[in-house]
Structure formats: C-alpha cells, structure tokens
Homo-oligomer: A and B are copies of this chain.
Amino acid sequence: MLGSVNESANWRDLIVALDDRHLDTLANAAAATIESLRGSPDAPRSDVSPTALRELVRAVTICPDEGGDPTTVLAEFATMVWRHGVVPSDVACVAHLHPPTLVPAVATELAIAATNQSMDSWDQSPAATEVELHLMAWLADLIGFGPTASGVMTSGGTASNLLGITLARSAAAMRSGVDVLQSGLPAEASTWRILCSDQAHFSIQRAAAQLGLGRDAVVAVASTPSGSLDVTALDEAIDRLTRAGSRVIALIATAGTTDLGAIDPMDEVAARARRLGCWFHVDAAVAGAFLLADRLRARLAGIELADSVTIDFHKLWWQPFNASALVVRDTSTFDLLRVPSDYLDRDDELEGVVNLVGRSLDTSRRFDAAKVVVTLRTLGRHALAEMLEHLVALATHAAQAVDDEPTLSLLAPPTAVMCVFDAPGASADDLRAVQQRLLVRGELVLGRTRIKGRAALKFTFMNPLTTTADVDRLVRVVTDELRAVRALPAVDGTA
C-alpha cells in the first residue's frame, strides 16, 4: 500500500506562502500531523524487532513519480515511523540525555520552518539575527560574563565543543605568529596538547581529530571516584607534559559528565589555564541549565572564568533537537574565524548589520533561537528551575532505591539527573542482556555504559512528569530482569 500513493497533489497549493489560503493549507496539514500522533502505544518503544523494522521501512517507495494527498501520506508515515520510535516522554525512556520537548518550542518549530530564516546573513534573517544576538547576550550574562561576551547557536554540544577548541587552536597558533586557518598547522603543532578528565565527552577527542591534532593530542586526566577531574592528577599531567616539551593549548572542564553528571572544579582549572596562558573551555552541555536554578547554580562556580562555554538547549532545557550554543568571554575572538565572502559576508555591508556566518562553522542555519526564546518566555525561570530540581531529586531518590536493593550497587552518588549502578556478581554480559532484552520487548529503554572499565547500567531522568513511584517501578523492572537473565542456562543471555 505504501508503495502506491496515486492521488496527485497540486504543488501550487503546497508552497508555504504567508497569505490566508496557503496558511489554511498549512494549518490543516499541521492538525493532521498532530492527529497522526494519537493512538501511540503507551510504552517507551514498540516491540518490533530491528530486522522486522528494517523490512517494514524498506518496503516504502521514497519518491513515487506521482505524489499523494498530504493527510494520507502523513498518516502512513505515522504508522510506519512514529509508532516505531522511542518515546522520550515515556517515564521508562531513561537511556540517554534525550528529553521530551515543550509545547511552545514544538509549536515554534512550525513558524521557524514556515518563515525559513537563514542565520548566515542579515538579509536572510534580519529580526532573527537580532534575536539570536539578544539571546546570546542574555546567556552570557547568566554565565556571569561581562559585556564583551557573546555567542552563537550551533547544532549540538559536539559542534559547540568543536567551535570552542577551534578558537583555542587559533589562539595558540596566533601566539606563535601563525594564522592556522590560513596556512595550516605549523610543525610545532605535534607538541600541542588538550587536557580534560577521563570522563569528558568523546566530542573533545573528535574535535582534536577534526582539527588535525589527532585524538592523541587529548590527554585524559584521572578523575575522582565521583567522576570529577582530579586536580592533583591535572597538576602532575601539566608538569609531565611541559617537562617533555609539550605545549598545553587548552584545558577543558566538564560541567556535568555524560554518565555520572560530575562537575569539574572549574575555578581550579581556570587558575591553571591562567598560569599556562592557554584557553579554558567549559563543556556545560549537561549541567549548564543549573544556571537557571537558585538552588543549583552554586555548583557551577568558576564557569564565569572560562574563555568559552558549551550550553546545550536540547538537553535540560527541553528543546527539540538541535539547539546548542557556544558562548565566548570576548566576542572579538570570533574574528579569528571570519572569512569574508563576495556573496554573503561582505566588507561593505549596511551599517549596523551583523552577518552571523562570521561566527559560525555553518553557513545556512535555522533560527533555533526562536524556540528557545518562546520557551523561556512561556515557562519563565522559576518553572524551569522547579523542573530541574525535581529531576535532580529523582536521581537522588533512584540512588537511594538502588542502595536499598541488595542485588544492585550504586557506582557514585548522583550530581545531576543520572544514576549509574551495576549488580554485584553480574557479568558485563548479564548487564548487556538486561538492557537489550528490555529494549527489544519495548519495556524499558535503559542506559548501558562503562565507567573506568566497569560495565554499568544507567537511568537518565529527563522527564519532569516522572514520579518517585515511577522510579521505584523502574528499579523493580531492572532487578526482575536481572533475576531472569541470571536464571538463563546460556552463557550469552541475549534474547
């Protein structure tokens, strides 16, 4: 059936123009899209197997010669795809930093797409450019930066970290008299090192790889049992590297590690960066939202000492993907990036006009700032803080429940919204079997990771509608499944 839609749509009706007739068509399609989401199963995901799902999708004709009625196509897509997704708003969807979203943000996506501003140049996004700049100024102020700070929206924490480390590389090269973007890495770059904790996100290594420094340029410093960077180990690493003739070009602190949610001691790291004269980047993709909450923001002490900060709106700000930011202490550092272009970012622009392409590694770029601003204005800071505090409390509750459960063992007390644990006597294969069997049955989408070589399971609480009773149930589902797996005869307990 899906291969043969026949009723031809008239493309003239389907262009999003802002007159009443075309907006009526859009309104109908938007309503149909939301209708198509109704009747979703009440589970974190459907129980279709990976191979069955692949066959289901591959049976679809991507582009028939003749199109179909929009409502029919949308409904078919729902049956095929939306029914077989994961459901981040389900309380049993706790594997990743993968949030449910907020109504004002999702509704604003419609306007973002309908008006289709592009953030690269002012003449493709006049008001949108000003809104993004205004949002970045607010965010810089929230961090505690001064008036010379600003930022730019990016597609995610990985892109924000890449941009921050790109600036760090340029600043290091500049001090050696090299314009690295123009002439490439100098020979001495083989001695350049970037230091972060062994719990930092893999995007730091990925950035170094992209930038030609290689993953080997990233030195992973030991972390404490709670997962935060060990300052003594950092000092030892700096000593060892400088004695060996290496040059530290950037120190990176993480505010909210991916697994344990640990926050590195930023003021300590800042002091070392200042002494070394190197860049200080903070990856606050996870815990940056703590800045909104009076009771949580003290945990981010020292963030205001950074040269650049990654903030991910599509994590604990409940924005739909993608929405992230890189904020810099000194806006003029973006000058390192700018490549004037004849058609886009000219040197003879209208007075007062900023072309954001000069700050970005992207060219065409959607107006994601819109959904963030509409969300902040609709919910307000107090509601967002309440939601955050509730999730942090849930993680603490989960840690207590795990502690109370003799078959489970907590790896570290939570600092953010995650709770990581293993099971005494259970092998890595057992834990894998628990995670995979629950996933395949669509019962629980559970996190699985490895902390310093030790296999572990993980809850990540992103949905503020989750209750402590839900958490207790999730712990029971895990212990029941663990019992079932350990009772299996086979060595490999996968389903």
Contacts and interface: CB of A to CB of B under 8 A. Distances in A.
A65 B381 contact: yes
Contact of A16 (B53, B89, B115, B352): B89
A33 B111 contact: yes
A301 interface: no
Contact of A212 (B114, B162, B211): B211
Interface in A54-85: 54, 56-58, 60-70, 73-74, 76-78, 80-85
A126 B23 contact: no
Given A62-B138, A134-B58, A383 B203 contact: no
A26 to B, nearest CB: 5
Contacts of A89: 15-18, 22
Contacts of A62: 134-135, 138, 373, 376-377
Nearest to A324: B364
A118 interface: yes
A225 interface: no
A276 interface: no
Interface residues of A, number: 189
A155 interface: yes
A259 interface: yes
10 contacts: A12-B464, A16-B102, A34-B114, A37-B111, A62-B376, A65-B380, A77-B370, A96-B344, A181-B214, A321-B365
A288 interface: no
B189 A187 contact: no
A415 interface: no
A359 B476 CA distance: 36
Given A34-B30, A116-B88, A117-B85, A104 B320 contact: no
Given A88-B116, A321-B366, A465-B17, A53 B127 contact: yes
A382 B156 CA distance: 36
Contact of A106 (B29, B205, B387): B29
Contact of A107 (B74, B98, B104, B351): B74
A80 B134 CA distance: 13
Nearest to A12: B465
Nearest to A186: B190
Given A9-B378, A115-B37, A214 B184 contact: yes
A109 B107 CA distance: 9
Q: Which 8 A-B pairs have the closest CB atoms?
A: A212-B212, A184-B214, A67-B380, A113-B320, A29-B107, A84-B127, A321-B366, A50-B352
A383 B67 contact: yes
A448 interface: yes
A379 B182 contact: no
A343 B50 contact: no
Contacts of A484: none
A240 interface: no
A305 interface: no
B126 A321 contact: no
Contacts of A183: 214, 216
Nearest to A428: B348
Contacts of A318: 15
Given A9-B383, A155-B155, A117 B74 contact: no
A125 interface: yes
A217 B432 CA distance: 47
Contacts of A78: 111
A248 interface: no
A159 interface: yes
B127 A85 contact: yes
A407 B30 CA distance: 47
Contact of A74 (B104, B155, B386): B104
A115 B184 contact: no
Interface in A272-321: 292, 312, 314, 318, 320-321
A209 interface: yes
A361 B166 CA distance: 14
A317 to B, nearest CB: 10
A92 interface: no
A106 B5 CA distance: 20
Contacts of A312: 364
A197 B185 CA distance: 24
Interface in A155-189: 155-159, 162, 166, 180-185, 187, 189
A413 interface: no
Contacts of A409: none
A243 interface: no
A494 B211 CA distance: 41
